[in-house]
Structure 1
Amino acid sequence: MAIPLLEYSPTSQNQRVAAYEVPGDEQPRVFSTDNLLSPTELTDLIEAAYRQIFFHAFAADRESVLESQLRNGQITVRDFIRGLLLSDRYKRSFYDLNSNYRFVEQTVQRVLGRDIYNEREKIAWSIVVATKGLVGFVDQLLNSEEYLEAFGYSTVPYQRRRVLPGRSEGELPFNIKSPRYDDYYRAKLGFPQIIWQTQVRSYVSSDKKPKAGDPSLFTNMARSIGPAGAVPQRVSALNIDYMNAVPRRK
């Protein structure tokens, strides 16, 4: 018999504040299939899903089968998110390189779009990971009332209420606040690395950079040639035999 999810009390976070927002450039863009999407807009939705779950996906990490099924309407956005969470890339990058507690924290941030409420919630979801495995944890998270109410079946998850009016700075993005590697693995990989810069770099705007054919581009090449001219002979006039040097007719 599986252990039920432990009860935990939600704390006051930005996403739980009554909806009062002032639209701005930093507000998250909502990607959903509720509206009729063109192929280009559907591509943007898929890219937004990769950014939310992986933060960045290389060509080898993309799930082409899931993308094809989503484009053909065979699966929903929620199913696509589930496929990314159960992919080999997510397992290798997050599940294998972190403890259950940190893995729960990172997954809740990406799926529910908020931070962990408290340590009790972290422990509760960690028990689910330990008893039901990765698949059971992902399914229970996507079937939760909070996820279905916030994103449903057609909306890509996003960091909710990151920017609030009346604050000079909002909350940090999850990928900056919670890096992929834990402290132990960052130490093994040699991070953070301190690089001492001995060369002073300067910035030159593109309009001040020399264009093709500018003589200044060939200055260094001309200086490297180092042409040597004809050196005049240093002979004293007293040592010249003018009588024998002048040709005579015989």
Structure 2
Amino acid sequence: MAIPLLNYAPSCPNTRVEGFEVSTDERPKVYTTENILSSSDMKDLIEVAYRQIFFHAFKWDRQVCLESQLRNGQITVRDFIRGLLLSETFYNSFYEKNSNYRFVEQCVQRVLGRDVYSEREKIAWSIVVATKGIQGLVDQLLNSDEYLENFGYDTVPYQRRRSLASRDEGETPFNIKSPRYDGYHRSMLGFPQMVWQNEVRRFTPQEKSAKAGDPSLFVDMARNLKNARGTVSPRVSAMNISLSSVPYRK
């Protein structure tokens, strides 16, 4: 018998309480099939869905069959999101590289558009993963009232209430706050790596830059002259002088 979902107390009122929304640059744009007018709009919607679930999709990660079905109206956006969550890319990149608790946190952020309320919610969804598997977790999240009320069948999930009128800056995006790999796997892969592709150039203000005739402009030239070795005349010893080369009077 499957264990029912444990009860957890909702918190984080930013995503639960409806308030006066102020349009800012940080407010996410809602992508839905209800206002698709051209093929380019559908292309943008698909790219946003990939960015929401995968953060970035390479050519190898793209689900061509699901994209074709979505373009032809055979499946809804909710079905497309479900296919991405059950894909091999999501399994290898998120489930295998994280614990069940962190995997649940990643799924809640990407599917429901909010942070987990508490550790009790992590435990509740982790039990679903352990008893019903990944497919059971995905189906229960997509069939939840919270998902259907906020995104329905035609809207791509997004981070809800990221920007509030009472704050100057919005919340950090999920993709930055919760990276794909956990700290343990990042250390195994050697992350982070600081690789400079080009030479780092330092900016010097114009008033502090050297003028013509400044001695600092000739430092490199002076160093080269100091390290350069001039032509040294060979030392002549009396032991290696040939008598035939010595001038003498006849």
Moved more, 25-34 or 72-81: 25-34
Determine if contact 2:26/2:170 at 8 Å carries over to the other structure: no
Question: Using the alignment, how far apart are the partners of 2:200 and 2:12 within structure 1?
Answer: 47
Cα distance, 1:197 vs structure 2: 11
What aligned pairs does 1:192-203 form with structure 2 within 5 A after superposition?
192-193=192-193, 200-202=200-202
2:191 corresponds to 1:165: no
Determine if contact 2:36/2:42 at 8 Å carries over to the other structure: no
Question: Using the alignment, how far apart are the partners of 2:133 and 2:154 within structure 1?
Answer: 26
Question: Using the alignment, how far apart are the partners of 2:198 and 2:91 within structure 1?
Answer: 40
Offset from partner CA, 1:142-162 (integer Å, 9 cap, x none): 000100000000000000010
What aligned pairs does 1:53-202 form with structure 2 within 5 A after superposition?
53-193=53-193, 200-202=200-202
Q: How many residues align?
A: 204
Question: Using the alignment, how far apart are the partners of 1:155 and 1:113 within structure 2?
Answer: 12
Cα distance, 1:21 vs structure 2: 1.1
Cα distance, 1:183 vs structure 2: 1.2
Cα distance, 1:35 vs structure 2: 2.4
Query: How high is the TM-score relative to the length of structure 1?
Result: 0.78
Cα distance, 1:202 vs structure 2: 4.5
Letter in 2 for 1:179: P
Offset from partner CA, 1:192-223 (integer Å, 9 cap, x none): 335699954147xxxxxxxxxxxxxxxxxxxx
Question: Using the alignment, how far apart are the partners of 1:198 and 1:42 within structure 2?
Answer: 38
Cα distance, 1:47 vs structure 2: 0.5
Question: Using the alignment, how far apart are the partners of 2:202 and 2:68 within structure 1?
Answer: 47
Letter in 1 for 2:201: R
Determine if contact 2:142/2:148 at 8 Å carries over to the other structure: yes
1:124 match: secondary structure = helix
Letter in 1 for 2:90: Y
Cα distance, 1:179 vs structure 2: 0.5
Indicate how the Cα distance of structure 1 residues 191 and 39 shifts in structure 2: closer, same or farther if over 3 A, else same. Answer: same
Q: Which residue of 2 aligns with 1:19?
A: 19
Question: Using the alignment, how far apart are the partners of 2:195 and 2:78 within structure 1?
Answer: 43
> What percent identity do the matched residue pairs reach?
71
Offset from partner CA, 1:210-238 (integer Å, 9 cap, x none): xxxxxxxxxxxxxxxxxxxxxxxxxxxxx
Offset from partner CA, 1:15-60 (integer Å, 9 cap, x none): 1232211112211000001224311101110001001000110111
CA RMSD of aligned residues (A): 2.0
Letter in 2 for 1:77: V
In structure 2, the gaps of 5 or more residues are: 204-250
